[in-house]
């Protein structure tokens, strides 16, 4: 029998080798596509189609290898693909390769936009709290790494049965150096100094009836802040009792002397706080080490400047009186920030702008716009006076204001062209 010269069996070895290399690439791509659809749970139909394509490609590859061996006269049986044009086969395999590449790209996009079981498991493991799901028999359905670690600390073993873990939570832990802070709530003080609260929820959905969700939340910051508040309240109560006793025994003159003595004490504490902060900065220690000194320093500043909650409502009135004395009118849109410190800084900025308007700009009005959004407070201050001189810079008052604003994690921007503008941004405190 004579075979067609256009067939696979009679064509050049180069084209045959090229065709088989392309088919090998197709097999790899089809395997990747099938694996991706299986891992993504893309559906039975897509998985079945990919499986059929992979099986058919494997059969075609077997035929290619068989005819290739027949071309080398190593086998005596009749070739399978002798009547198929080699160029048609090459073009078909190239088109198949392009299709597979495009299909894999689509699968990647769908995988990125689809919530898969693997992504759920990864997301649960990345949350800072402990999460555990169990059924009515106590079998663990899903548990993240953090919950496994907490279970090992409380019970000495990893989480395998929820009932054992539940008994350890609801009763006194068997491990040393673990303290249950409250018998009515499942809050534990762990050896590393952290405080965790465990909460259990019965899932209400009909399909999830009987399943239990257990969450472990790190409440260390809340616990320690509460302890500080308790300690501060006790100190305030003691101070209040001493003041009441003192005011019952002394007259007006002695009261003035005591007030002066208290201000002197505040002044001394102010100086000591500054020196302590300076030493911390010189030693380049961590910012957390200066937190106590900064809080003390703030208290002393507010006392020395009389910036307390009692005179908060009078801040704006005092500033208006100061402006009237300078011949400046204040036009304000919005309300002062509710936060005491932000309100004081806003009033300080307004006073500085009023003074600069009268001294440098020779204006008659200062315009203030205060806005509050989800991110914080935005404050804009300008005036109707003359524009600043060329190459104008912040003076001592604005520079001091900037330091005070940045100390409260706010931002301050000043513009001198084409007119003077002062922008303040204060973040909302959580």
Helices (H), 212-339: 220-249, 252-282, 291-304, 315-325
Local confidence band at 369 (pLDDT 50, 70, 90 cut-offs): very high
Residue 249: is its pLDDT beyond 70? no
Residue 381: is its pLDDT beyond 90? yes
Asked if 119-218 and 311-427 have one fold, the answer is no
Residue 342: is its pLDDT beyond 60? yes
Residue 273: is its pLDDT beyond 90? no
Residue 17: is its pLDDT beyond 90? no
Tell me whether residue 429 is exposed, middle or buried, using C-beta atoms within 10 angstroms of its C-beta: 0 to 12, 13 to 18, 19 or more. Answer: exposed
- Domain boundaries defined on the chain: 8-113, 119-218, 224-304, 311-427
Alpha-carbon distance of 109 to 106, in angstroms, equals 5
Could you tell me which of 6, 67, 63, 55 has the C-alpha nearest to residue 30?
Answer: 55
Cβ–Cβ < 8 Å for 99, 23: no
Pick from 174-183, 217-226, 249-258, 294-303 the range whose average pLDDT is largest. Answer: 217-226
State mean pLDDT over 74-93.
64
CATH code that applies to domain 311-427: 3.30.565.10
Local confidence band at 425 (pLDDT 50, 70, 90 cut-offs): very high
Note the pTM of the prediction, 2 decimals: 0.34
Among all chains, which residue has been given the structure tokens 């097999």? Answer: 27
| φ, ψ dihedrals at 238, nearest 5° | -60, -45
Mean pLDDT, the chain, rounded, equals 75
Higher-confidence residue: 190 or 309?
190
CATH code that applies to domain 119-218: 3.30.450
For CA atoms 98, 100, 101, 103, the dihedral sign is: positive
92-124 per-position pLDDT tens digit: 888 888 888 888 888 777 766 665 555 566 666
| DSSP assigned state of 339 | S
- pLDDT value at position 136? 78
Residue 372: is its pLDDT beyond 80? yes
Could you tell me which of 248, 189, 249, 256 has the C-alpha nearest to residue 224?
Answer: 189
138-190 per-position pLDDT tens digit: 788 778 888 888 888 887 777 777 887 887 777 766 567 777 877 677 888 88
Local confidence band at 367 (pLDDT 50, 70, 90 cut-offs): very high
For CA atoms 163, 169, 172, 177, the dihedral sign is: positive
Q: What CA–CA distances, in Å, run from 17 to 7, 56, 57, 62, 94?
A: 14, 19, 16, 14, 14
- pLDDT value at position 151? 82
| DSSP assigned state of 308 | S
């Amino acid at each position: 029998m004579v075979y067609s010269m256009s067939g696979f069996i009679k064509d050049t070895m180069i084209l045959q080798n090229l065709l088989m290399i392309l088919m090998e690439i197709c097999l790899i791509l089809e395997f990747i596509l099938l694996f991706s659809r299986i891992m993504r749970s893309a559906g039975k139909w897509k998985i079945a189609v990919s499986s059929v394509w992979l099986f058919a490609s494997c059969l075609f590859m077997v035929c290619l290898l068989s005819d290739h061996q027949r071309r080398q006269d190593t086998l005596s049986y009749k070739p399978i693909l002798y009547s198929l044009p080699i160029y048609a086969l090459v073009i078909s395999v190239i088109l198949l390769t392009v299709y597979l590449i495009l299909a894999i790209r689509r699968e990647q996009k769908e995988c990125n936009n689809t919530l898969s079981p693997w992504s759920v498991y990864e997301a649960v493991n990345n949350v800072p709290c402990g999460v555990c799901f169990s059924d009515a028999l106590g079998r663990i359905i899903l548990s993240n790494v953090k919950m496994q670690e907490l279970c090992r600390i409380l019970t000495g073993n990893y989480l395998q049965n929820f009932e054992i873990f539940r008994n350890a939570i609801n009763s006194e832990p068997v491990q040393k150096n673990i303290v249950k802070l409250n018998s009515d709530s499942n809050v534990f003080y762990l050896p590393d100094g952290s405080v965790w609260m465990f909460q259990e929820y019965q899932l209400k959905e009909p399909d999830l009836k009987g399943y239990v969700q257990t969450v472990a939340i790190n409440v260390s910051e809340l616990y320690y802040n509460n302890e500080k508040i308790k300690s501060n309240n006790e100190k305030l109560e003691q101070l209040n009792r001493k003041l009441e006793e003192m005011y019952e025994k002394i007259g007006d003159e002695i009261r003035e002397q005591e007030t002066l003595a208290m201000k002197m004490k505040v002044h001394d504490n102010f100086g000591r706080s500054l020196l302590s902060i300076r030493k911390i900065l010189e030693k380049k220690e961590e910012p957390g080490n200066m937190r106590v000194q900064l809080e003390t320093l703030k208290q002393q500043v507010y006392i020395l400047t009389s910036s307390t909650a009692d005179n908060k409502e009078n801040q704006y009135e005092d500033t208006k009186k100061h402006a009237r004395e300078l011949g400046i009118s204040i036009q304000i849109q919005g309300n002062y920030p509710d936060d005491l410190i932000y309100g004081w800084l806003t009033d300080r900025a307004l006073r500085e702008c009023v003074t600069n308007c009268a001294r440098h700009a020779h204006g008659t009005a200062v315009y203030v716009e205060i806005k509050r959004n989800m991110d914080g407070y935005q404050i804009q201050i300008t005036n109707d006076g003359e524009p600043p001189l060329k190459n104008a810079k912040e003076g001592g008052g604005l520079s001091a204001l900037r330091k005070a604003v940045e100390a409260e994690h706010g931002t301050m921007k000043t513009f001198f062209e084409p007119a003077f503008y002062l922008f303040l941004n204060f973040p909302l405190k959580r």
